[in-house]
Amino acid sequence: MFALLEPTEILAWLEQYQYWAMFGILFLCGIGLPIPEEVTLIGSGVVVGFHLADFWIASAVCVTGILIGDSIIFFTGRKLGQSFPDSWFIRAINNKKVHRHFAKHGNKAVFFARFLAGVRIGVYGYAGQHGMRWVKFIFFDLIGALISCPISIFFGMWAAQKLAPGKTPKDALEKAMGLFEEYKPIVLLVIGSLVALIIIYAIYKTRRYRTEIKRVLEEKKEAKEAARSAAEPPDEDGEPPAESDEESGA
């Protein structure tokens, strides 16, 4: 079991079992196996680069494994509450300041935890323990997974095809991981910029949609009032008929 902690052993499992290994390892990562998801995702990309798996199927399988593992942590936090197995994040979630921060920024915390290895379990268990709806949790977790999985798999595929052509998957993985560690800050910056653009665009579209809805409702209200005025005949002096005492509520 502990052999899975070595990148070369992960790659061997991925080569032999392809999609089953992708799903299983990422599922175990999600429930606490101490393996960075990036190793499995980039290794999956290497397998794709050597034509042992399909990019889109691999991406879908990896996203599914991640979401199921994360959901188990979420529901474990909800089910066990304060009795969740003692760990560093239990000490954190008992902090009132953290509680207030999560209550205000819970959605962003779930989303960005996907890109921060070492804090995912704490954030997801905390989300379940403190009553976040699963639909909301899985939505933000899914957005993060849809960004991190295809990018990491593509990086591994590119490394296999461009950095180690004609060599073994092990060589490709070593080159990919070395390059990833060297340029990790840039990779995270690119991912962060992409995430920020997506969020800004979503906010812009939401506000524009709300403004448009408000404008349409106001136009309908004005049209309805105009139609009502036109349907009421004027009195002998050319003025619209006055409201009766009964209609005016007098």
Token reading at 40: 């499995």
Ordered per-residue pLDDT tens for the chain, 250 residues: 444 457 778 888 888 888 998 998 888 887 777 777 888 898 898 898 888 889 999 999 999 999 998 888 888 877 776 555 555 545 544 555 555 556 666 677 777 777 766 677 777 877 887 778 888 888 888 888 888 888 889 888 888 888 777 677 777 787 777 777 777 677 667 766 776 777 677 777 777 777 778 777 787 777 777 777 777 666 555 555 555 555 444 4
Please give the Cα distance from 131 to 81 (Å, whole number): 10
The distance in angstroms from the start CA to the end CA of the chain is 83
Which residues neighbour 153 within 8 Å (Cβ) at sequence distance 6 or greater? Answer: 41, 42, 44, 45, 48, 55, 58, 59, 62
Q: What is the DSSP letter of 18?
A: T
Which residues neighbour 122 within 8 Å (Cβ) at sequence distance 6 or greater? Answer: 87, 88, 89, 92, 93
CA distances from 1 to 16, 57, 120, 134, 194 (A): 16, 26, 22, 31, 36
Token reading at 23: 């799903």
pTM: 0.66
pLDDT at 2: 44
Please give the Cα distance from 182 to 157 (Å, whole number): 18
Angle between helices 37-49 and 55-80 (to 10 degrees): 160
Please give the Cα distance from 53 to 46 (Å, whole number): 9
Among candidate residues 125, 35, 27, 10, the one with its CA nearest the CA of residue 67: 27
Contact 28, 22 (CB under 8 A): no
